[in-house]
Amino acid sequence: VAETSLFQESNTGIITFPQIKGVILQKVCEYMCYKAKYSNALGEVPEFNIDTDIAIELMMAADFLDI
């Protein structure tokens, strides 16, 4: 029996963030992968590079997404 959700995203499998530019969302995804990969690292962790051109927008997106 298939369950339905009140959230459109659960039914369509699509989440949209119209207020976040694609390049910013891409960097958020890269950071999440970086964090998952290195969160339990015992050795030296490489620096996560962020272009200064997108730093403010990236911080705003991270705040919005609560990450």
Say what the pLDDT of residue 2 is: 55
pLDDT at 18 over 70: yes
- For residue 11, pLDDT over 50 is answered with yes
Q: What does the block give as tokens for 59?
A: 């911080």
Tell me what the pLDDT averaged over the chain comes to: 91
Residue 3 is given by DSSP the state -
Question: Which residues make Cβ contacts (< 8 Å) with residue 27, sequence separation at least 6?
Answer: 50, 54, 58
